[in-house]
Amino acid sequence: MLETILSTESIRKSFGAHCVLDGVSLSVRKGEIVGLLGPNGSGKSTLLNILSGFTPSDGGAVNVDGHDVTGLPPHAIARLGLVRTFQLPSMPHRMTVREVLQAGCRREAGLGGALRRWRYDAEVARLLDQFLLTRVQDQPASALSGGQKKLLSIATVLRSRPKLLCLDEPTAGVHPNLRSRMVELLKEVNAQGVTILVVEHDMEFIRELCGRCVVLDRGALIADCAPRELVENPRVVEAYLGKAVEKGKLTA
């Protein structure tokens, strides 16, 4: 039995009178790649915001790798190993791609001066290469294309060597060729020991990447199954299409 790296217990969140998360409990085991799915407005980004400390919940608990992180700020949660990217990545205007990656590489105690710089440079070069950004490393980060910004935002959070990577729609606006490369990249990252929770609408991407999916609808968890089982699940089909449809026709 694999160890749990993330669990939530009855997470609740409302904005005014609008209940967005209504008691969401889920868990992710070490080494998994789990898809977090659901129609627009079903609460996926809000849940990621709560997991990563960017939004306080109204109730419930979040546990990361054995630590109760409920109510902790984002930097404290990141230090415990959970990092995330945003649905709409924003990049600093005055920094190049390389500088964005250089900022905040994990400090290693006991390493000084030249050796530390050499290690940082080697790590930045590796990330630039892995995420296909070497060619644009001297461009302003804010001038990158939408897809390249997604890649840079993933590379950036990987600098801290996380245990759990939460991604919010990494392929939105990304060309199909780059989308396939993203699947390979995330599998590589996972093979290096990073657990992944990924919000996505692209079902092919989910099928290629994820071993398991959880589905939110109107703030409640309605399915926890293998990607291939989604089309068989009447609650999922109805959530996406608003009515029962012929088996096998779920494409959203």
Is residue 177 part of the contact set for ligand ATP (CB under 6 A)?
no
| Residue type, position 156, single letter | T
Closest approach of Mg ion to the CB of residue 55, in Å: 12
Is residue 118 part of the contact set for ligand ATP (CB under 6 A)?
no
Q: Determine the interface stretch with ligand ATP among 34-42, 66-74, 89-97, 187-195 (rule: CB under 6 A).
A: 34-42
Pair 159, 102: CB distance under 8 Å: no
Pair 37, 47: CB distance under 8 Å: no
Closest approach of Mg ion to the CB of residue 140, in Å: 26
Between CA 142 and CA 152, with CA 147 as vertex, the angle to 5 degrees is: 60
Closest approach of ligand ATP to the CB of residue 45, in Å: 3
Helical segments of 9-67, H only: 44-51
Residue 249 neighbours by CB under 8 Å, 6+ apart: 231, 237
DSSP designation for 140: B
| Residue type, position 210, single letter | C
Binding letters toward ligand ATP, positions 54-93, x by CB under 6 A:
---------------------------------x------
Pair 128, 159: CB distance under 8 Å: no
The strand order across the sheet containing 4-15 reads: 18-29, 4-15, 59-64, 67-68
Query: Between 39 and 162, whose beta carbon lies closer to ligand ATP?
Result: 39
Q: Determine the interface stretch with ligand ATP among 38-46, 61-69, 72-80, 230-238 (rule: CB under 6 A).
A: 38-46
Binding letters toward Mg ion, positions 41-60, x by CB under 5 A:
---xx---------------
Query: Between 105 and 172, whose beta carbon lies closer to ligand ATP?
Result: 172
Return the structure tokens found at 29: 């085991």
Closest approach of Mg ion to the CB of residue 65, in Å: 25
Closest approach of ligand ATP to the CB of residue 43, in Å: 4
Is residue 230 part of the contact set for ligand ATP (CB under 6 A)?
no
The CB density around residue 238, as the number of other CB atoms within 10 Å, is 15
d(C-alpha 230, C-alpha 227), whole Å: 6
Closest approach of ligand ATP to the CB of residue 46, in Å: 3
Given Mg ion, ligand ATP, none, residue 38, with its beta carbon under 5 to 8 Å by kind, binds: ligand ATP
Among 10, 15, 76, 121, which residue interacts with ligand ATP (rule: CB under 6 A)? 15
Query: Between 38 and 170, whose beta carbon lies closer to ligand ATP?
Result: 38
Burial of 40 (0-12, 13-18, 19+ CB in 10 A): exposed
Query: Between 48 and 182, whose beta carbon lies closer to ligand ATP?
Result: 48
- Binding residues vs Mg ion (CB under 5 A): 44-45, 87
